[in-house]
Every structure is written in structure tokens, then in C-alpha cells.
């Protein structure tokens, strides 16, 4: 699917909200030879762990030990040879406006907390092109029920379905 999106079947750029160390992004970029395409991949994260001000008490307890703190330099090093990858450091929703693209073909959301995840979905919804893929990383995983309920509400308001994948992720295809 990413190959078709990157290869020009869909216009628009890629956005990942919640990058951690960039493992998934790197695999996707290399798998489709992303640097050969005239698209930008925006990687958004605090790169210092979760932003406490957006966590509920339940999320604070659940996410006490994550192992993603202070990885900004590592991520910069990982993607230094990719001119069409833009690394955006800071908490979402504050950094959303730094994505300069008006058309998004792929959006991956994995921030382990409701407030920034829904903020990202709302912000990018009108920028998503028809056929764009939205991956909700924790949608069907136990312990992430608040995210699932929030995205179910989001989907209901937008009049769209969310497919729960066998991986526990949610998939939305923008109509």
C-alpha cells in the first residue's frame, strides 16, 4: 500500500505522529525507496517521551516506562541521508502547523494518549486526499480503550468506518 501511495498513485505527503526512535518510519522509507519520490515524510514527536500535560492519570500510570526519552539526536542521525524527511520536534498539538503540506496521503498516529492523537486526526482530516490511509497504532490493543472510544467518536462524527486490523491497529481510508 505504501508503495502505491509513495509512487504517485495518490498525491500528498506522509506524516507520522509519534515516531519514537523511527524504526517503523525507516522500514517504510527504505521498503518503498521513498527518497526517490517527490514527497516529504514529516516525522513528529517530542523525542523526549510523552508530554505530561496531555496525559490523563490513567495514561500517566500506564506509560511510566517507555524507553523513548531523549532520542532526538539518534533520529536525526538515522534520517540524515534522506533529504525529503523532515523531523519536527515538540509536542502535538503545538507542532502540527509545522507540517507545511496541504495534501496528505498517509498519516500514522501512535502517541499513546488521547488528546494529541485526536488533535492530529482533526488537524489533518481536511488535508487528507481521497484514498489516503490513516493508521491508528493502538486502536484495538488492550489498555488503549480510551483511544479506541475517542477514535470511534471521531469516526462517527466524520461518517466513516474504522477497520480493526488483526495487528490491533485501526485503518481509516479517507473517502
CA angle, 3 then 5 then 34, to 5°: 55
pLDDT at 63 over 70: no
Measured between alpha carbons, how far is 93 from 44 in angstroms, rounded to an integer? 10
Measured between alpha carbons, how far is 75 from 49 in angstroms, rounded to an integer? 13
User: What is the CATH classification number for the domain harbouring 137?
Assistant: 3.40.50.150
How many structural domains is the chain composed of? 1
Q: pTM for the complete prediction?
A: 0.91
Query: Could you read off the pLDDT of 92-107 as tens digits, one per residue?
Result: 999 999 999 999 999 9
Query: Could you read off the pLDDT of 112-141 as tens digits, one per residue?
Result: 889 999 999 999 999 999 999 999 998 988
Give the Å distances, CA to CA, from 58 to 84, 112, 126, 129.
Answer: 37, 11, 31, 34
- Those residues with Cβ within 8 angstroms of residue 169's Cβ, 6 or more apart along the chain or in another chain: 135, 136, 137, 138, 139, 140
Q: Are residues 24 and 108 in contact, defined by beta-carbon separation less than 8 angstroms? A: yes
Q: Three cell numbers at 18?
A: 509519534
Residue 80 DSSP class: T
Domain carrying residue 125: 2-173
Q: Three cell numbers at 155?
A: 469516526
Q: Three cell numbers at 48?
A: 523526549
Q: What are phi and psi of 83, to 5 degrees?
A: -65, -20
Amino acid at each position: 500500500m505504501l508503495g502505491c501511495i509513495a509512487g504517485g498513485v495518490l498525491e500528498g505527503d506522509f506524516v507520522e505522529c509519534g515516531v519514537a526512535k523511527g524504526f517503523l518510519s525507516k522500514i517504510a522509507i527504505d521498503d518503498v525507496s521513498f527518497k526517490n519520490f517527490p514527497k516529504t515524510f514529516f516525522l513528529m514527536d517530542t523525542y523526549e517521551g510523552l508530554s505530561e500535560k496531555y496525559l490523563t492519570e490513567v495514561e500517566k500510570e500506564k506509560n511510566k516506562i517507555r524507553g523513548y526519552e531523549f532520542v532526538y539526536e539518534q533520529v536525526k542521525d538515522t534520517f540524515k541521508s534522506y533529504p525529503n524527511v523532515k523531523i519536527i520536534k515538540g509536542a502535538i498539538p503545538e507542532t502540527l502547523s509545522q507540517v507545511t503540506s496541504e495534501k496528505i496521503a498517509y498519516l500514522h498516529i501512535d502517541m499513546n494518549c488521547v488528546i494529541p492523537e485526536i488533535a492530529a486526526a482533526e488537524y489533518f482530516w481536511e488535508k487528507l486526499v481521497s484514498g489516503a490511509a490513516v493508521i491508528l497504532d493502538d486502536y484495538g490493543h488492550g489498555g488503549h480503550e480510551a483511544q479506541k472510544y475517542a477514535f470511534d467518536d471521531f469516526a462517527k462524527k466524520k461518517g466513516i468506518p474504522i477497520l480493526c486490523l488483526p495487528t490491533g491497529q485501526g485503518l481509516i481510508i479517507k473517502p
